[in-house]
Structure 1
Amino acid sequence: MTLSRHLPGSGSVGAVSSRRTERLLNLVICLAASRRWLTKEHIRAAVPQYADCDTPEAFDRMFERDKEDLRDLGIPVVTGTDERWFDDEPGYRIDRDDYALPPIELDAQELAVVGLASRVWQQASLAGPAARALTKLTSLGVDTDQDMDGLEPRIRTAEPAFGPLYAATRDRQVVTFTYRKPNGDAAAREVEPWSVASRNGRWYLIGKDRGRGAARVFRLSRIESDVKRRGRAGIYEIPEDLDAQQMIGKHVPSTDERIATVLLRTGRGAGVRRQAVATIASAEKPGWDELQIRIGDAGMLAQALAGLGPDAVAVTPADLRAEVIRLLKGALGAQAAQIQSENPKMRVG
């Protein structure tokens, strides 16, 4: 059973408030894990985000909104009573029979696609506030379903900036980092993070650039320094009408139609070869092939070529070649640092 299949935030962190998404997920866990009806008091005690409500009235308003949001998402929050535990006070839970996915039959191609998609996700047991929600329910004497372990999926991303930016977006806390523009220039940025979203295999930060006083889109792979937080959490608001994908579309070209010239060692780089519009044996380098490739996403092509190491050479355009060289130097530096940390007495360089 997949309880988070309808929750907002898929592919975008912050476009719909990440705090709201986390609260709704915790509410789903709370209502689905219980084997009996839960009163409002149980729910308020179990879901950490409801502690922010100053009064019972404020909690009632937030809870009613959350119930409607879940129902709009197709999650059946039902009401009932159990006189053994309380006198006709309404209780709530999620009807898991109605919510669970029906049996699915997949053909070979569909299974292959699911297998590829599964590589994106890393199953983890319930963590943080979600785990505390179940712990609180147990402490209140509510039986919970142990099959809920492993509910929370986590996305694996290559960019080290993802984790800190996700956390800063959730906490609404200003961040600083060094950002490299497409022309290679690097500069310090101070940003109010609004959203972290993916598009075409790339991750982007959408937020207000304080230095420029306007909304900007930053590609995470171009963040060259550690992401550092500044100031207190919760000091700015995320625009309610923010559309992360629309922002990315405005600032990021959809495809690069230029043709790149690439040299590949014969028999190497099968994945890159599939992208070629023309391939000939290299007249200047025996044992190598010359490929013409429509770039599409320059960053992804550069990573693919860099990943082939000595078996690939980016010839043109110059910016693609420079990016491949930058990636190779970065990998070499990281490897040297790792060797140095494992063997402090060894000189690397």
Structure 2
Amino acid sequence: MPKTSARLLALLSLLQARRDWPGTLLADRLDISLRTVRRDVDRLRELGYPIAAIKGPDGGYRLSAGTELPPLLFDDEQAVALTIALQVAATSTGDALAEAAARALTTIRQVLPARLRNRVEALRVTAVERPATRPAAPVDGDVLLAISAAVRAREVLRFDYGDEDADRAPRRAEPHHVITWDGRWYLIAWDLDRADWRTFRADRMSLRTPNGPRFTPRELPGGDVATYVIGKFRGSEDGNWPCQGTVILDLPAATVALYTRDGIIEEAGPGRCRLTLESWSWPALAAAIARYDADIEVVGPAELTDAFGHLARRFARTAAKS
């Protein structure tokens, strides 16, 4: 029979794996008697684990929620997933939560076995906050770990990307950062063949081995990964949209605020408001403003007025064809 300490850990691991456990099944899995199961459950209760007894023909046990958090056990996959989640929380939440996540991450790293510590120490993830508008694209965890390890080791990555012909020479890039954005994982890297910064979707990368030589990291445009990524997806490297305009809408500010996430809204008299929005092009900005379905007065600039005229002519041609 295993020693008491080893038996208790095995029992705790089983209780965490599923909601309800019949006593006879626990005894069978642990190769002990029902009486020993009952004694071990009592020992776990004394240690603070809230284990409830289940009524029934054979009886059973359930690990319930308690008033305090007792020690927990994690398998290898859970430990890696928890490390990734805590890194994201530590870089993307408010100050208090980020500090708590960082402390939890340190605690977990201290007790990880060597085989896992080396893997998760190579994992460096930065989360750029934005509400996800689509389900996360599935990414192989080993790919994320390998990319992150290359970032940390400063080794050139070699990989096939997307639907490119596998017979072609692989892409070569100096990996800089692994990030999350809008439900997807991305690698920010310097593309050696194109001599420019590129953003690669991790779910489209098929890594080649071995990695290339070590490199000296380049300075990311803007100097800050969050600023660079936001600017990259918005269409400018300084984090601002290339087109910004202001209009007066014949709608109350409170109404417009319900449907505006990024704009600046100000009161402009009874039932009217002043709205400032940004977008990647002037027609796109005009179309975004038109969705409020209200009379519009353009404050500026002239490019926005021209964009409304451009859309009006386009819509008129579309209506004439119908």
TM-score (norm 1): 0.28
Task: Tell which has more relative contact order, 1 or 2 (C-alpha 8 A, sep 6+).
Answer: 1
Q: Quick check: which has more Rg, 1 or 2?
A: 2
